[in-house]
Structure formats: structure tokens, C-alpha cells
Amino acid sequence: MTPRTLALLSLVCLGLSAAAVSQAAPPDLAPPAATKPNIIVILADDLGNADLGYRGSDIRTPNIDELANGGVRLENFHGMPVCTPARAALMTGRYPMRQGLQTLVIFPNHRYGLPTDERTLPQALKDAGYATYMVGKWHLGHADRRFWPQNRGFDHFYGNTVGEVDYFTHKRAGVLDWQRDGVFIDEEGYYLDLIGNEAVKIIERQPKDQPFFLYFASLAPHAPYQAPKAGEDRYADSIADPTRRTYAAMISSLDTQVGRIVKALDERGMRDNTLIIFSSDNGGPRSAVVASGAHSPEERAASGVTQDVLPASNGALRGGKGSLHEGGVRVPTIFNWPARLPPRVVEEPLHLVDIMPTAMALADAPANPAAKPLDGKDIWATVATGQASPHDDILVNVEAFRGAVIKGQWKLVKIALLPGKTELFDLSADPGEQTNVAEQHPEVVADLEGRLIAYAKQQKPSEWLKAQPDYLGAQGQTLFDPDFDIDDGGMPHLKPDLPQP
């Protein structure tokens, strides 16, 4: 099987002409047969689309900028509206609606997680001879150890399993959520520094004759907005708002860890055989309710989150975290492999589900006949040479009450709650989704709506809605058959339900 890999984006921000991009010499698509590439996925959390230096931000990110300017930028790459579905898409190569993970996120008292019959990316890479490591935020199940990363294909895990923790105490509602390979540890240190230290140690100790996969899942810049004072002081003269100053310091801290990872690879002589993928789970929050896990107003304020002060910027894109519009799901994405990928900008529509099949193709991972079919595509040809997206359509997400789908230049957003709403946007002319052209193109609406409904018929019942009948109220319970009316899972401010030794 011929190895291949993944996708990157936009022309305007880079300042290159279309002619310059098209004239770039195409790389040799096949990596050297004797070695499989190391693969590192760096996932930011709630990163604003416009909040990186290379995208024109006042936030300084020299190391991420270097990856972007020296790699492939995917400017039409899509995550999911919120954290848990995005991570499910990345880890399985399948749309989260197939796992019942399409709605919101796993709350601290929820007991569900990524179904254990799903084959994960680290499991597939282990089958190809890879060592597999994860540092940072999991958020795919915490209440049962069988959901934990080290039981889902990772040889080593260091970090937290619930959605968010204090960056210094590593606790949620007073409960410690910080572990190394299943053992809870109470240690001092800033979240980004600690996972950066762990990532560097992993690279330094990795045998050169064995390929490795490292999933670096940053909590930053997700709320609570917290950073060391020295990081905030770097922006004292350039950013007046204190919350955005902290937010900027968090992103700069993430950038520092990216630089440390690249330096460690260089020092081990591994850089030429390592693909680095940088992305985010969703766009920056434009609502206080989704910025900090739907906490109470008092808790959000304590986390530095108010509706009046939302530090993330998605630029000209409409909406933010939690939304089906581009500000919620279009995420800055970079594929960087200097030895194999010349710099370019790719504007073809792509999705987080594509990372798994692309990585598997690069790793020459063996097929598993028992594995569920993937929704993602191998996008290496799109990333490496700018070929057309392999997708006929891309499901942004589908739930019981809303959904969105992309086909080529067109995007349909459907709100099913009565009286309902149907929006059609031409993303090629209107990436900010300002003009609804549904009435002008009824045939396009009919095509995309048919595709969305076909996806909707394939979705499993939402695990979040099943766990939250009391949250929805009496009317919410009527959405389900009686066997879906299970005990309420509680609100986000409750203590995490974590197994203890």
C-alpha cells in the first residue's frame, strides 16, 4: 500500500498568488520505504481562528508561525462545535453522531464515554509498530477506567480526563484530575509547562528505530483563563484588557511548548522524519455559557469569563464555539514536514475525521476487518499537491434539532426547532456567512438537505441528551422512548465522578 498523508489551508493570509502556489514543485508523494514517519498531533482547545501571529493577531506565536510559514496551511479545515465531539472525530476518523457523542460535552458527573468498540487512531498505529503517547486533555470518558486513554491504545498517558481543570492545582470542583498512567498525582506546576516537559522527555527517550505517535492535547486556551504572571506581563504594554492579556499569555505558553517539541526533535535528529499536525478542536467562544463548561454565572465570573469579556477572536467568521457557523467549526490547521512538504496554502474543504485515515496510510497501518468504516478520507494528495478534496460532502454535525453539511462551495445550516430555519451560504464568496442564498438556489438546498437528513437517519441517540432529561425539563423527556429516560447526570459545577484507587 502506498503511504500518504493530510491537509492545509488559505491563500489570502499568506500573501501568495495563486500562480505562485500552483507553480510550486510537487513533492514525491511516497515517503522513504525503509522508515515510517513519526506523527505528532498538537491540538489547541477553543483557539480563536484569528488568534495566531501568522493570522495577523497581536498575540505572539513565533513557533507556530514557523510551522505555518514553512508548511501546508489548510484554510478550509473543520473541527466540531465543541470539545468532546472534536476529540471523538480525531480519535476514530468517524463522525461523532455515530457514537452518540454529537451533542455538547461530557459533564463531570456523566458516566458515558467513547464506545469501547470503536477502533482508535493509537490502536491502529500500534498495529503498525508505533509507540503511542498522549499528554494533556482527554475528555472522552472519565467515570470508568475502561474509557481512559491508556485503555484506548496509548502506551503512556499524562494529563487530565475531564473537560477542564485549574491550570495550577489540576483540580475540578476540588477533585484532583491529574494522572500518569492511571495513578493520580498531586504535583505543582502550570499545565502547559508540565505537559511540555513530558512531551520533551518522551522524544528524548524514544528509540530512533521505532516510529512514534504523540498526541499533545493542550487545555489552553480553554477557560478558566489562567497564566503565570510573567506571561501576562509580556503583554502589559500591548493588550489593555486583563482577560485578553491572560488569554494571550496562555496561547504564547502553548507556542513555547511547540517550540520545545520541535527543538527536541532537531536535537535527536528526528525532524526530517516527523510530520507535525497543528489544529484546534473548535473555534473561539463567543458565548460565556460555552466558554467555561456551562457553569453558573458566578463560577464563570470566577474563571474570568463574562459575556462582556470574551477574549477569543474568530476574525470575520460568523459565530463561535458551539455554533455550526464557520466561527465555531473552521479551525487553523497546519501540516508541517519540511523534508516532504513544501510550503503551500490549501483551500479545499477537509475535516478532523481525515487525520486518522491519513496517518494510517502514512504508517502503512494494516486494515482491521472488524473495524467500523471510516468517514474520514486520506487527504495526503490534497495536502501535498493541492489536489481536490476527496470528499463528496462533509458533515459538519447533525443532532436531533440541528445540523450542517458542506458540499464544495456550498454550506447548508438547518435548525429543526419550530419554526425552524434553513440557511445556505456560498463559502467561496461569503466565508463569513453573512448572506443566506437559500431562496436563490432551491435545487442546492434540496440536494444538501437530502444529504443532511440521510446522515440524521444514521445517528445514534445523543448520550448527552439521554443523561440530561432533568436539564431539558419535562418537555425534553418527550423526545425519547422510555428506555432513554435514565437518571439525570447533573450540572457542570458538580464534582467529577472519577474512580479513585
pLDDT of residue 465: 87
Mean pLDDT across 371-379: 96
pLDDT of residue 468: 77
For 343-380, the DSSP string reads -EEE-S-EEGGGHHHHHHHHHTPPP-TTSPPPS----H
Q: Which three cell numbers stand for residue 492?
A: 457542570
pTM of the model: 0.89
Measured CA to CA, the distance from residue 377 to residue 358 in angstroms comes to 7
Measured CA to CA, the distance from residue 96 to residue 319 in angstroms comes to 21
Could you confirm whether 83 is annotated as catalytic? Answer: yes
Q: Which conformational region is residue 437 in: left (phi greater than 0), alpha (psi within -120 to 50 degrees), or beta? A: alpha
More confidently predicted of 173 and 126: 126
Long-range contacts made by residues 458-461, C-beta under 8 angstroms, separation at least 24?
A: 458/97, 458/98, 459/97, 459/98, 459/100, 459/102, 459/398, 459/399, 460/97, 460/98, 460/99, 460/100, 461/100
Q: Which of 13, 83, 142, 170 is catalytic?
A: 83
| Distance from chain centroid for Cα 274 | 20
pLDDT of residue 487: 44
- Partners of 333 in the beta sheet? 74
Measured CA to CA, the distance from residue 375 to residue 202 in angstroms comes to 31
Name residue 325's amino acid: H
pLDDT of residue 329: 98
pLDDT of residue 162: 95
Measured CA to CA, the distance from residue 426 to residue 402 in angstroms comes to 19
| 267-276 per-position pLDDT tens digit | 999 999 999 9
Three-state secondary structure readout of 305-347: CECCECCCCCCCCCCCCCCCCHHHHECCEEEECCCCCCCEEEC
Neighbouring CB atoms inside 10 A of 63's CB total: 21
Measured CA to CA, the distance from residue 291 to residue 319 in angstroms comes to 13
Q: Is the pLDDT of residue 500 over 80?
A: no
pLDDT of residue 472: 59
pLDDT of residue 473: 54
pLDDT of residue 287: 85
Instruction: Using pLDDT thresholds of 50, 70 and 90, give the confidence band for residue 491.
Output: low
According to DSSP, the β-strands at 350-351 and 171-172 are: unpaired
- In this structure, the dihedral spanned by the alpha carbons of residues 290, 295, 300 and 306, taken in order and rounded to 10 degrees, is 40
Q: Which three cell numbers stand for residue 457?
A: 437517519
Q: Which of 110, 139, 170, 222 is catalytic?
A: 139
**Exposure string for 269-301, b = 16+ CB within 10 A, e = fewer:** ebbebbbbbbbbbbbbbbbbebbbbbbeeebbe
Mean pLDDT for the chain? 89
Rg of the chain taking only CA atoms, in angstroms: 21
Long-range contacts made by residues 447-452, C-beta under 8 angstroms, separation at least 24?
A: 447/407, 448/393, 448/405, 448/407, 448/410, 448/411, 448/412, 448/424, 449/412, 449/414, 449/422, 451/393, 451/405, 451/407, 452/395, 452/398, 452/403, 452/404, 452/405, 452/412, 452/414
Under 8 Å between Cβ of 83 and 164? no
According to DSSP, the β-strands at 171-172 and 212-217 are: unpaired
Q: Is the pLDDT of residue 31 over 50?
A: no
Q: Which three cell numbers stand for residue 425?
A: 451560504
Under 8 Å between Cβ of 195 and 218? yes
Share of the chain above pLDDT 70, in %: 87
Q: Is the pLDDT of residue 164 over 50?
A: yes
Nearest to 399 by CA among 328, 452, 475: 452
pLDDT of residue 493: 60
| 96-132 per-position pLDDT tens digit | 999 999 999 999 989 999 999 999 999 999 999 999 9
| 43-82 per-position pLDDT tens digit | 999 999 999 999 999 999 999 999 999 999 999 999 999 9
Could you confirm whether 139 is annotated as catalytic? Answer: yes
Measured CA to CA, the distance from residue 46 to residue 284 in angstroms comes to 5
Under 8 Å between Cβ of 131 and 486? no
- In this structure, the dihedral spanned by the alpha carbons of residues 84, 127, 178 and 355, taken in order and rounded to 10 degrees, is -30
Under 8 Å between Cβ of 6 and 358? yes
